[in-house]
């Protein structure tokens, strides 16, 4: 499976993305209004490229190229028994 499909079909929720930048170097779900971070693909010159969309409510407030960030997943067990 290619990296875009692998990231987009990973069932784990993304909790935090970080990058080396002096300003605004991270987004974390539950802080500053961030409600979700979701992976998706955008067409590149030769293939789909993985990107991350940062949401506040239902609105996308930021898009970040996945190759520029570190992705941390929420590994908290689901109280309903799911993954």
* Residue boundaries of the structural domains of the chain: 1-36
What is the per-residue pLDDT for 61? 96
Euclidean distance between CA atoms 47 and 73, whole angstroms? 25
| Rounded to 5°, angle at Cα 30 from 51 and 18 | 40
Place of tokens 């109280």: 79
Q: What is the pTM of this model?
A: 0.79
What is the per-residue pLDDT for 3? 61
Pairing of strands 34-43, 48-56: antiparallel
CB 13 within 8 A of CB 74: yes
What is the per-residue pLDDT for 44? 86
What is the per-residue pLDDT for 18? 93
**Which residues of the chain are modeled with pLDDT < 70?**
1-5, 21-24, 77-83
The closest of 65, 21, 59 to 39, measured between CA atoms, is 65
């Amino acid at each position: 499976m290619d990296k875009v499909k692998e990231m987009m079909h990973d069932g784990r929720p993304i909790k935090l993305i970080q990058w080396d930048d002096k300003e605004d170097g991270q987004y974390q779900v539950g802080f500053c209004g961030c409600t979700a971070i979701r992976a998706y693909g955008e067409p590149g010159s030769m293939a789909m490229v993985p990107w991350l969309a940062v949401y506040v409510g239902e609105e996308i407030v930021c898009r970040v190229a996945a190759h520029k960030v570190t992705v941390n997943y929420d590994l908290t067990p689901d109280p309903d028994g799911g993954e």
